[in-house]
Amino acid sequence: MNNSPSLLPDYLKILREKWREVPSSTQDRTFSSDLLALADADLLRLWQGWYDDNCAGAGYSTRGWYHDLYAPLARTGGAWLEIGSGLGYDGIFFAQQGAQVTFLDIVEGNLQVIERLCGILGVKQVNFRVLTSLEDIRPLGTFDCILAVGSLINAPFDLMCAERNALATHLRRDGRWLELCYPRERWEREGSLPFSEWGKKTDGDRTPWVEWYDLEKLQRSLQPHRFETVLDINFHNHDFNWFDLTKRS
């Protein structure tokens, strides 16, 4: 397969077909178009239930812990970019703490769900942008924090290097790069499948690609930008890994 970065827009079309269905509960996925058809009260009730499942109780070990960890950073009120925001469990939380969050996703319907939820919840200072090519990143401005939760592992490495790179250009010096990936340990445990097959196991039948990352691979993917490591941990029984990096150049 030719993974030239110029092929990113074509690959994003393939990804868009898959990712119009996004993680809802920790065990399930939902088409954002189905959510858009709901009345406000029903949308909020469903979303709130899934949010609690992801963040509270048993879900604390999935997302709740990093919400608590980074809430103080969000309360300082900086500009955050969430890339691949799904149903917004993270970006909405950090916006509620005081961050000015730009939600950037490849699927317009996903963003429309978050925009409606922000309206219902009274969450202000949020922006919404669709990503169709790297050109869409250029007008975004500079961010204090870039957050990618399971979004930049879904395409071949060379393509994601190009996207990470373009995004990291918009992170200020000393800004934070927060990313959730899947670790190599999980890939090995689940049979060391080709990445074109592994995603079907981790994220459902229609998943074109899922690739593991470790710190070295993530740092390489962000080059020529240079980052210092704040946190590099596997969590949730090695299902996920979390990287917290500070941009130095």
Ligand X SMILES: C[S@@+](CC[C@H](N)C(=O)[O-])C[C@H]1O[C@@H](n2cnc3c(N)ncnc32)[C@H](O)[C@@H]1O
What residues line the site for ligand X (CB under 6 A)?
15, 19, 22-23, 83-87, 89, 105-107, 110, 131, 149-151, 154-155, 163
Q: Hey, what amino acid is at 140?
A: L
Least Å distance between CB 119 and ligand X? Answer: 19
Q: How many residues does the chain have?
A: 249
Helix, strand, coil shares of the chain, percent, nearest 5, are 45, 25, 30
* Token reading at 249: 């150049």
Least Å distance between CB 108 and ligand X? Answer: 10
Choice between 136 and 232, CB closer to ligand X: 136
Choice between 90 and 144, CB closer to ligand X: 90
Choice between 85 and 219, CB closer to ligand X: 85
Choice between 79 and 210, CB closer to ligand X: 210
Least Å distance between CB 19 and ligand X? Answer: 3
Q: How many Cα atoms occupy the beta-carbon half-sphere of 239 within 13 Å?
A: 10
> Are 202 and 209 contacting, i.e. CB atoms less than 8 angstroms apart?
no
What residues pair up with 126 in beta bridges, in sequence order?
101
**CA nearest 178: which of 195, 198, 164?**
164
Least Å distance between CB 238 and ligand X? Answer: 18
* Token reading at 154: 């879904």
CA dihedral 156, 13, 243, 56 (to 10 degrees): -130
Choice between 59 and 86, CB closer to ligand X: 86
Least Å distance between CB 157 and ligand X? Answer: 12
